Chains A and B, each alone.
Chain A
C-alpha cells in the first residue's frame, strides 16, 4: 500500500517559505491518499490500454491485409506484441503495487 503524505508532493516545502500559504497547500491531501492514487492510475491505464488496443488493431489490420505475409511482417508482429506486453505487465504490476 502506498503511503502518501502531503509532504511527498514536490515543492510542498516551498509553501513554508511562501507567507500567504502558511505551510499548507489548500485541500490537496485527499488527492494523495494511496487508494485514490491507485484507483486513478488504474482508470487512466485502462483508458490508455483501450486506445492502445484500437491503434494496435489498425496496425495489425494493415500488416495482415497489405503486408503480403512476409517474414519481416511476422517478425514485426512478434516484436510489437512482446514489447507491448512486457511494458503493460510492468505498468500494471507497478500500479497494483501502489
Chain B
C-alpha cells in the first residue's frame, strides 16, 4: 500500500492517478546498458576472430582472473548508472488528486522541482499522439494550460495513456467546477 505522506495532502484528499512516462523511453537506456556491458566481450570475440597474439595467453593464463575482475567492476558501474537513471525516471511523476495536480520533476538526482496546480486554475488540456509507434503503444505528450498568469503550464512528454489522463483531469476539473458553482449559488441565495 503506497503512502503519500511527503505530498502533504489535505485530510480529505487522495491520489487518484499517478502519471509517468511510457516504458518505451526506458528501452533506450536498457539497450545502451546492455551495449556497454557487452563491449569487453565483443572486443574479446573480435580479438579472437583476428587471432591477436595475446588472446590465448589471456584466455588460459592467470590474467583471466584479473580481466574478469576489471570486467565485473565495469558491469557494476553500468548497473549503478542504470539504477540512477531508473530512479530519475520513476520519481519524475504527476500525482492527480481530487483537488490538484502535483508535478514532480526529478531532473537530476539532486535536482527536484515540485509544483502544484489546482483544478480551478486549469484552462485546457492538450494531448498530442504523433507517429505510428506512439499510436500503437499509446503514448504522447500532454500539456495542461493554466488560466493564471503567475503559474506555468504543466507539460510532460511520452506519457503513457495520455487520453485516459486527460479524461481523469477533465472529470476532476468538472467536479471541482460544479462544487464551486454550488457554493456560489448557495452564497447568492
Binding site for B on A (CB under 8 A): 2-4, 8, 10-11, 13-14, 37, 41, 45, 48, 52, 55-56, 58-59, 62-63, 65-70, 72-73, 76, 80, 83-84, 87-88, 90-91, 94-95, 97-98
Closest to B15 in A: A68
B residues contacting A by CB (< 8 A) are 1-4, 6-7, 53-54, 57-58, 61-63, 65-66, 68-69, 72-73, 75-76, 79-80, 83-84, 86-87, 90-91, 104, 106, 109, 112
Contacting A91 at CB < 8 Å: which of B72, B79, B83, B106? B72
| Distance in angstroms between the alpha carbons of A65 and B87 in the assembled complex | 12
Q: In the complex, are the beta carbons of B86 and A76 less than 8 A apart?
A: yes
Residues of A within 8 A of B109 (CB): 58-59, 62
Which of B63, B76, B86, B112 has its CB near the most chain A CB atoms (within 10 A)? B76
Q: Is the interface of B mostly helix, strand, loop or mixed?
A: helix
Number of A-B contacts (CB under 8 A): 82
What are 7 A-B residue pairs whose CB atoms fall within 8 Å in the complex?
A: A3-B62, A48-B73, A59-B83, A62-B109, A66-B91, A87-B72, A88-B76
Instruction: Flag if B83 contacts A80 (CB, 8 Å).
Output: yes
Which residues of B are found within 8 Å of A37, using beta-carbon distances? 66
Whether A2 contacts B62 in the complex (CB less than 8 A), given A83-B79, A84-B76, A87-B79, comes out as yes
Bound complex: CA of A62 vs CA of B85, how far in Å? 12
Whether A91 pairs with B62 at a CB distance below 8 angstroms is no
- Are A8 and B63 in contact, CB atoms less than 8 angstroms apart? yes
Contact across chains for B76 and A52 when beta carbons are under 8 A apart: yes
Contact yes or no, A70 B76, CB < 8 A = no
Q: Given A69-B3, A97-B65, output 11 extra A-B contacts at Cβ < 8 Å.
A: A10-B57, A58-B109, A59-B84, A66-B104, A68-B6, A68-B7, A76-B90, A87-B72, A87-B76, A87-B79, A94-B72
